[in-house]
Amino acid sequence: MSKVHNFSAGPCILPPEVLKGAADAVGQFNDLNLSLIEVSHRGKDFIAVAEKAVGLVKELLEVPEGYSVMYLQGGASLQFLMTPYNFLKEGGTAAYTNTGTWAKKAIKEAKLFGNIEVVASSEDRNHTYIPKGYTIPENADYFHITSNNTIYGTQVMEFPETSVPIICDMSSDIFSKKIDVSKFDVIYAGAQKNMGTAGATLAIVKDSFMESSGRAIPSMLNYKIHASKESMFNTPPVFAIYVSMLMLQWMKDIGGVEKIAEMNKAKAELMYGEIDRNSMFKAVVDVEDRSEMNATFVLNDDSKQDEFNAMWTAANISGIKGHRDVGGYRASMYNALPIESVQVLVDVMKEFESKNA
């Protein structure tokens, strides 16, 4: 079977080694004659998996002391609710940026808990840029920002300097480049883009920030309870955590976040270089805000769409149609996507131009 070049925006492509390791564990885990998905989540074999998964997060991101690392459930969508529940005080205010669909959903959930001030928005240009130069109110309980916007293809290159606690949704670019965790009070990310499979959500929370809202918080939505139980308050997503552990180990083995960042930069430069060079296509995002994870582009002549679609399909390329809300094309280049796949897409684009220009 010919290799499929998987540009899916999520769930993401995973390395062959991770897929094999996950498949093997489902059949036979730790020579127990049991499947990974059959063993007790409180048994020593899975406890070792969970501890390693947490340890690799701390190691790869250089998480400082005073932070708890948790594997939760519900995706980033539940984090949209948990963050204001835990950190937005009664009668308080939180500051948000609106840079796309997921940021807007976070704002919607937060409004259930208090006053939300949208301090910056890119909605005026259909989210094709990242706002800059805005002011974050000093009295805000926290400031929420989305680091990468998968649908529109924008990415925050520099986070604002502020004394206000920062909460960041890093669902689609965590582990893609080096970050200073100490600048954030909360980082959360669905696992299914860069660090595993759907079903687990990573939360990195500053211990001193927990329960700062003063609210009575239901147990399942309380970060402090999840942290105290080491992600075992309820039955954790066993398979998703195992796959995440394998993916994190793969990252470590190939050189860690610094090596991943180098690879991601090379893929993005190759992809955007062709978009800008090719007379048949154009990028939709401001150059300085282009995401290294999700390159969005459109045809200059929509009448050629069927021809281009047929060409990339014939080349065993999958998942490059743009989100239904914006159309066009989106090449998602998450951590496990090899640059060889990007080259195949670039070659198709070149061939398409040679036939039509």
User: Residue 85: pLDDT above 70?
Assistant: yes
- 4 within domain boundaries: no
Q: Which residue has the tokens 């499947």?
A: 35
Alpha-carbon separation of residue 193 from 61, 119, 267 (angstroms): 16, 27, 16
pLDDT per residue as tens digits for the range 32-69: 889 999 998 988 999 999 999 999 999 999 999 999 99
- 276 and 145, same structural domain? no
- 5 within domain boundaries: no
> Which domain, by its residues, includes 191?
16-254
Q: Which amino acid is at 122?
A: S
pLDDT above 70 covers a percentage of the chain that reads 99
- 285 and 238, same structural domain? no
- 228 and 94, same structural domain? yes
- 9 within domain boundaries: no
Q: Which residues contact 179 (CB under 8 A, 6 or more apart)?
A: 61, 170, 187
pLDDT above 90 covers a percentage of the chain that reads 93
pLDDT per residue as tens digits for the range 102-112: 999 999 999 99
User: Residue 2: pLDDT above 80?
Assistant: no
* Total tally of structural domains belonging to the chain: 2
Q: Which two tokens stand for residue 344?
A: 């195949």
- 320 and 235, same structural domain? no
pLDDT per residue as tens digits for the range 121-158: 999 999 999 999 999 999 999 999 999 999 999 999 99
- 170 and 34, same structural domain? yes
- 338 and 221, same structural domain? no
- 350 and 320, same structural domain? yes
- Continuous segment of H or E residues that includes residue 270: helix 256-277
DSSP 13: P
- 215 and 273, same structural domain? no
Boundary-marking domain end, from 233, 254, 275:
254
CB count, 10 Å around CB of 57? 23
CATH number at 192 reads 3.40.640.10
User: Residue 27: pLDDT above 90?
Assistant: yes
User: Residue 324: pLDDT above 90?
Assistant: no
CB burial class (10 A; 0-12, 13-18, 19+) of residue 24?
exposed
DSSP 291: -
Q: How far is residue 9's CA from residue 319's CA, in Å, rounded to a whole number?
A: 7
Q: Which two tokens stand for residue 30?
A: 């730790």
Boundary-marking domain end, from 222, 254, 286:
254
- 8 within domain boundaries: no
- 139 within domain boundaries: yes
- 58 and 165, same structural domain? yes
pLDDT per residue as tens digits for the range 61-75: 999 999 999 999 999
User: Residue 311: pLDDT above 50?
Assistant: yes
- 84 within domain boundaries: yes
For residues 114-122, average pLDDT: 97
As a whole number of angstroms, the longest Cα–Cα distance in the chain is 64
For residues 342 and 320, is the Cβ–Cβ distance under 8 A? no
Q: How far is residue 99's CA from residue 146's CA, in Å, rounded to a whole number?
A: 7
- 69 within domain boundaries: yes
For residues 89-112, average pLDDT: 97
Catalytic residues, by residue number, are 102, 169, 193
Q: Of the candidates 148, 196, 169, 237, which has an alpha carbon nearest to the alpha carbon of residue 12?
A: 196
pLDDT per residue as tens digits for the range 218-243: 999 999 999 999 999 999 999 999 99
- 24 and 153, same structural domain? yes
- 74 and 156, same structural domain? yes
pLDDT of residue 346: 98
Residue 38's SS3 state is coil
Average pLDDT, the chain: 96
Boundary-marking domain end, from 254, 279, 306:
254
For residues 117 and 163, is the Cβ–Cβ distance under 8 A? no
- 204 and 66, same structural domain? yes
pLDDT of residue 1: 43
- 110 within domain boundaries: yes
pLDDT of residue 297: 97
CATH number at 310 reads 3.90.1150.10
Q: How far is residue 33's CA from residue 36's CA, in Å, rounded to a whole number?
A: 10
pLDDT of residue 357: 79
pLDDT of residue 319: 95
